[in-house]
Amino acid sequence: MLDKLLNYNNIYQLWLNRGSTYEMAVELTLRQLDSLEAIAADDESWEMLLEISARGRNTDAWLAADWPSGFDELLICVPLCKLVDWDCSRCTVGSRQENNSCAMDYSLFGYIGELVKSADRKGLIDHINDARKLLKNPGFQWNVHTCMLEPIDQ
Task: State the pLDDT at residue 63.
Answer: 55
Full DSSP string of 87-140 = -GGGSTTGGGTTT--TTSTTSTTHHHHHHHHTT-HHHHHHHHHHHHHHHH-TTE
Note the pTM of the prediction, 2 decimals.
0.93
Mark the ranges of the chain whose per-residue pLDDT is less than 70.
56-65, 154
Distance CA 123, CA 105 (A): 15
- The pair phi, psi for residue 150, each rounded to 5°, is -135, 150
User: Residue 149 pairs with which residues in a beta bridge?
Assistant: 142
Distance CA(127)–CA(147), nearest Å, equals 9
Q: What digits encode the pLDDT tens for the residues 59-101?
A: 555 555 678 888 889 999 999 999 999 899 999 999 999 999 9
Share of residues in the chain with pLDDT > 70 (%): 93
Q: Any idea where the domains of the chain sit in the sequence?
A: 2-151
What pLDDT was estimated at residue 154? Answer: 53
Ramachandran angles phi, psi of 84, nearest 5°: -105, 15
Closest CA to 98 of 142, 140, 131: 142
